[in-house]
Chain A
Amino acid sequence: MLEFLKQPWPWYVGGALIGLTVPILLILGNKTFGISSSLRHLCAACLPAKIPYFMYDWKKEAWNLFFVAGVLGGAMLAANFLSDPNPLVVAESTKTYLAEKGITDTSALLPAEIFAWENVLSLRGFFFFVVGGFCVGFGTRYAGGCTSGHAIMGLSNLQWPSLIATMSFMVGGVVMTWFILPYLLTL
């Protein structure tokens, strides 16, 4: 059983469990699925600085912080007790392309050539950690949601604004991947 769970799980298992989060949160307490709001609650809790956008009772949304704490803990459990010793299977064409850019280490979920502490203070690190992180936080709040709030919750409820947001996510990602990342990877 444990050996079975240690293999990578197929997409339909992950997809179904993530989809089930929508009704489960609704039934547990009428909560609408969304993760990026947790970043807003953190701002409201730690440094509201009299900014109207952060002047609200974040404790009423504390469930969201309890949820993401669980996500962090679950990932920790999976990485420690259910980890798969084999290297990641990456699509051959992606692998060839990344190898040309010097990214060859597929032993972990993230490439050690980029996401390591020693890169944080380099120019590469500036883009991959600082600019990337900033875009994720700024963009999701500006869009009013992320992959969970818009792509999954919003589309599940057939909301067209969420479809527009999801398409914008994809366009942004494709532009970065095809036109900007090739340069960033050479830094």
Chain B
Amino acid sequence: MLTYILRRLGAGLLLLAIVTMVTFWIFYVLPRWAGVTPEGMAAMYVGKAPTPEALAATVERLGLDQPIAGQFYDFIRTLLLGTEYTFGRQTVECAAPCLGYSFSTNTPVLEQIVSRLPVTMSLAAGAAVIWVVGGVAVGVLSAVKKGSIFDRIAMSLALVGVSLPIYFTGLLSLAFLVHNWNLFPVPRYVPLTEDPIAWVQVMILPWVTLAFLHAAQYARQTRAGMLETLGEDYIRTARAKGLSERRVIFKHALRPTLTPIVTIFGLDLGLVLGGAILTETTFSLNGIGKYAIDAIVSKDLPVILGVTLMGAFFIVLCNLIVDLLYPVVDPRVRIAK
């Protein structure tokens, strides 16, 4: 078991390294190929009427004129060993793992990510609960009552959920539920630790909006899986044994259906933890997704690298957890081992 975990961890680290290189390549190397000069890149981070001196100083401070390999080496070294930055007459230490300083706001990237993590985690946790519970429940009911009105309505809704973009459902719910009918408070994030009730009130719309999209997939997936399983021989056997329908469905049919669900869930949760850009932007939540999109718009390279790494990290982590959960969900995996 331990070697299994270590192997997975090793693969995860390798993946992170590859993601880092690709991101670095996209944002550092591609612009050079496109003919952007170091001064041109520096112009992103200075004011509206920069003097040539300010541009030159910025190029030097950010190391934009260094060869690519040098910049990459610096990035990795900073990440692993930490570094020091000078501001005015002050020197600030950035301890490992140092993701660097944001070019445009002069704040440490890691600190910013950590301070925004609670927002994204709140969003991800609440939405995930809703979409898994809701999606699976609807899927099971639809499968059991296949062809009923409930099934048809639920599956049409699921289709709608999959096809409607978040900025549409989100803006719609904001316009009507918040601003027109005043059913929910204006979304201004409140930490869970500060006021749990306000936290729920503020987060409920983003949760539902984000969950709607995912729940739809889960419902369809569960329904299909359930229908397939319900047709299996052992289900007929279970029924023939005289087991109650409830037991048949939940104990015998649902369990194997859950295996693929858990797999997608790991990926989905990892993605959302890495920043639900659309949801966070629509509801003006200052989470990691918002941080990422702001950084991309202002070409704030250290931040882009930082959030990309963080996103990849979450996916790797969630996948690892899912892999470890397999034997619990599916006894066959245990036996095979």
Same complex origin of A and B:
no
